[in-house]
Structure 1
Amino acid sequence: MYKLISGLLKLIIVKLSNSLEVQGKENIPQLHRYVVTCTHESYNEVIMLGTAIYPNQIHYMAKKELFNNKWFGRFLTSLNAFPVDRDNPGPSTLKRPIKLLKENKTVGIFPTGQRKKYDEGAPLKRGAVTIAMMAQAPILPAAYVGPNEIKGLITGKAIIKFGEPIETKHLPKDMKRNEKLEYLTKELENRTKQLQQELDAYVNIK
């Protein structure tokens, strides 16, 4: 189902309506084993991020409430999404994405944990960094600028920009685990903020 819908969306969004511009494609790792993060204001980022990386498939972490409806839950599962309990995260929350990464698959996480403007000061949660570090996988930061309404996927113009991957394996051995988490979280926050600022400047110039 993911391949079918993603292929259709790419045809409509990229080839027919030309409503997506992707910057920093050279930063996308050739191996699929990485965590991709993105700023999050609406559901459009989910679609555009998947389209930008297609044909590689993203396995999205999604809040468990979206799976309460049996049929909608099955639909999300067919699109490679899997539920997580954001209010009470436990060890099981990490097992699924780490397993996917070790199977050389891509995991998509929106670090703010909610649809919220990045510049509103939403703190980056440690989940993405923790998962990437435990799986020894790089983090691919991305930022989004564009319409937030679904109709804007076709009628508007969106831009996804990827930054340089953040390696999680080559940190100093004398750093403690919490220090590594703090360092990587801050690095992800800084790179995401920079990407967002660069996109905002690019849009203003245009």
Structure 2
Amino acid sequence: MYSGIALLFKLFFRIFGKAEVINKEVLPKRGPFVIACTHTGWVDVLCLGATLYPLKINYMAKKQLFDHKFTSWLMKKLNAFPVDRENPGPSVLKIPARLLSNGEIVGIFPSGTRATEQTALKQGVITIAQRAGVPIFPVTYIGPNNLRELISRKKTHLIFGEPIHINTNEKKERKYYLEILEQKLISVSK
């Protein structure tokens, strides 16, 4: 189902204004790695998935999206897994660790919520990448946030930043790497 939806949205984005994709060549041809993308609405999730296809992303998503039977089924078909942001448990680290150890790609929206303002990035993305020993690729999405803006052909940009390699042997604090990620997300959007 993931493939069918990705192809459908690839076509949809071509019809309603192809996204300008910048620096995608920095991405490896396969996982494991973490994608850390800005998050301003549901369109960025679909645009990112369609742009990276045939690579498949396993999305970390808030657990409320799994509350209803249909949306839960759909989210699982789109390779999303639930995270309780208010009471994060061991699964917050275990699920992405298992996926990354299987060579897969994990997509995280480090602001933790849809936001148009800069919000403090969550440290989870650093912890996950550090424990798995994989790079983080920062991605900035600039474009439509809803169906009306998408149909009106609002300009869309998806900008890939250079990878962040976290040296697991160094004693640098997560805050150091978080600042690097934040700087890269801001710099690629300019």
Structure-2 residue corresponding to 1:136: 133
Structure-2 residue corresponding to 1:201: none
Contact 1:19–1:154 (8 Å) recurs in 2? no
Deviation at 1:154, TM superposition (A): 4.1
Structure-2 residue corresponding to 1:190: 183
Structure 2 stretches lacking a partner, 5+ long: none
Indicate the SS of the match to 1:148.
coil
TM-score, with length taken from structure 1? 0.87
Contact 1:19–1:153 (8 Å) recurs in 2? no
Between the two proteins, the alignment pairs up a number of residues equal to 189
Indicate the SS of the match to 1:19.
coil
Superposed CA RMSD: 1.4
1:73-112 alpha-carbon deviations (Å, 9 max, x no partner): 0111011011010001122211001110111111110000
Deviation at 1:27, TM superposition (A): 1.1
Structure 1 stretches lacking a partner, 5+ long: 199-206
Question: Any residues of structure 2 matched to 1:9-48 within 5 Å, and which?
Answer: 9-14=9-14, 16-48=15-47
Identity in percent: 43
Contact 1:12–1:154 (8 Å) recurs in 2? no
**Structure 1 CA distance, aligned partners of 2:98 and 2:22?**
29
Contact 2:30–2:55 (8 Å) recurs in 1? no
Contact 1:19–1:155 (8 Å) recurs in 2? no
More helix by share: 1
TM-score, with length taken from structure 2? 0.94
